[in-house]
Structure 1
């Protein structure tokens, strides 16, 4: 975050002033914080999360408002916000204290039963989109415009203004079949738009936001991109997490039509373009390998199903 160092010293000062009952608990950064928020474990039962940039600050109020209403209707455990912290001690944004959720970050390799995982994840997606969305937030900057229609000019992950330059950059590297990748992208753009009322979406069902215990999905975390929008964006784990047998079970269980599936492939593709100058991939070269694998899963699915 520009101008402010988010470290244990800052978080300890914020806790001392605003939540002194927790100020003496052990505090340490989690091994892998996200790019949007810095996260710290607080004692055995709590965590602290602080937005890194101004445009993510709206996530705090959104999670505190909506998660208590959504959680009782969902089949997997989800993030539980406990307190909202105020700006202070040189930190300019609201921040949160959450209940700590035990579990390991989900990986494809650790799945005990990929089909079961596909069904469990579908159950979560179906339950979420089935909740009354009256008054829910639409796509906006603070939820990264997740769930906007394909071709929408707003600055989402899947905006043409973002994807086209990445396709051109990848074409120069020669690392992917750029004609096949472009075909999938064009198919996503051409797919009919979501024609039903918008529904609740998580917006970022990446493996980093899925927890598992004993090889089975146990929790979904980080609802910062929560919105009421096109549900296609929540189908991305079909290629970015589930192996083929789990993917087939997932698609059948979510009952995705061809148009929704094509749009979902577009979202997955947009998040799997490891261009050399993208900070997300520069920070961790292993992400390049993972993205290329996800991209191949998308291409293979398109070859199979069109």
Structure 2
């Protein structure tokens, strides 16, 4: 998926586990098929998951990032009515793998990209309840920090322009450009930042029997625009359930439109960047853009 992507094999994981966590030597190691773009995922036995960053970087910076993700996961644990992975251990470079890596608890379920709940109002209500639970956690005075999604929409102008240029052979760019010209001027929400998951895409949402059963990739849990988690309305839901989610949350026009804008920004990148290397992510982006265009 990335030009500089690292290769992580089951043999490498087996060697790292045996060397650094000898208590797990008897547990089988299995690769997990995933549409994720940041980590290679392996199961260790039935209850643990190992995550290996896919792109090279400074060892200490990667370690700090993994420690920050673990801290966020610990803060979120038990705070929503749906289970989330909990940090277990931090591994070190070795066996030919050059970076720190993490271990967390395994959650059962099927990701929403494999079991599509998009037509279900009951699932939309579950999703709204999750977002409410996330927002109910205190920010403890923290505000959004960084340059990712969740702050100022206009800060993403250059990225969206890059996406528009790289998508000319894939999408009808004219209506998309007009949409962004409107979205980028949406004002910040006057209520201030709330706690958010930050990446509620189908691959991070677990489904069982058509209902929400768990949330993955919680290391980005933190303060951000209250509209940020509304990307899920566009990534995951069709028209009627999407309306049900909005009604349950009581989202006003500004919050709703900013949620649409964050989903737009994310989807514009997914379509072209992953068109050959992660087709499922590219298709997700296309579907979300189609939903946004139909509703605009």
So what's the TM-score if we normalise by structure 1?
A: 0.85
SS at match of 2:287: helix
Give the alignment partner of residue 140 of structure 2, picking from 128, 134, 138: 134
Give the alignment partner of residue 162 of structure 2, picking from 158, 161, 165: 165
- Is 2:285 the counterpart of 1:291? yes
Output one character per residue of 1:240-297: Cα deviation in whole Å (capped at 9) or x when no partner.
111111100111222222222222111111222378852x221134544443221110
SS at match of 2:154: coil
Aligned residues: 290
- Structure 1 window deviating more from structure 2 (280-289 vs 224-233): it is 280-289
The 1:205/1:117 distance shift into structure 2, 3 A limit, reads: same
**Contact map agreement 1:46 1:100 (CA 8 A) in 2:** yes
SS at match of 2:268: coil
Give the alignment partner of residue 100 of structure 1, picking from 97, 106, 129: 106
Aligned to 1:197: 192
Output one character per residue of 1:149-193: Cα deviation in whole Å (capped at 9) or x when no partner.
1112xxxxxx111111322343x43742x3332232122211111
SS at match of 1:273: helix
Whole-angstrom distance in 2 between the partners of 1:22 and 1:137 = 39
Aligned residue runs from structure 1 range 163-242, under 5 A? 163-170=160-167, 172-173=168-169, 175-176=171-172, 178-242=173-237
Instruction: Let me know the Cα RMSD of the aligned residues.
Output: 2.5
Aligned to 1:148: 151
The 1:137/1:36 distance shift into structure 2, 3 A limit, reads: farther
SS at match of 1:271: helix
So what's the TM-score if we normalise by structure 2?
A: 0.88
Aligned residue runs from structure 1 range 1-306, under 5 A? 2=4, 4-32=6-34, 34-53=36-55, 54=57, 57-107=63-113, 110-111=116-117, 114-134=120-140, 138-140=144-146, 145-152=148-155, 159-170=156-167, 172-173=168-169, 175-176=171-172, 178-273=173-268, 278=273, 280-302=274-296
Which runs of 5 or more residues in structure 1 are unaligned?
153-158
Whole-angstrom distance in 2 between the partners of 1:3 and 1:241 = 28
- Structure 1 window deviating more from structure 2 (179-188 vs 28-37): it is 179-188
1:209 shift after superposition: 0.3
1:74 shift after superposition: 0.6
**Contact map agreement 2:69 2:220 (CA 8 A) in 1:** no
1:109 shift after superposition: 6.2
Whole-angstrom distance in 1 between the partners of 2:114 and 2:35 = 20
Whole-angstrom distance in 1 between the partners of 2:94 and 2:170 = 49
1:137 shift after superposition: 7.4
**Contact map agreement 1:108 1:243 (CA 8 A) in 2:** no
1:79 shift after superposition: 1.2
Whole-angstrom distance in 2 between the partners of 1:95 and 1:135 = 30
Which runs of 5 or more residues in structure 2 are unaligned?
none
Whole-angstrom distance in 2 between the partners of 1:125 and 1:112 = 17
Whole-angstrom distance in 1 between the partners of 2:150 and 2:108 = 29
The 1:102/1:123 distance shift into structure 2, 3 A limit, reads: same
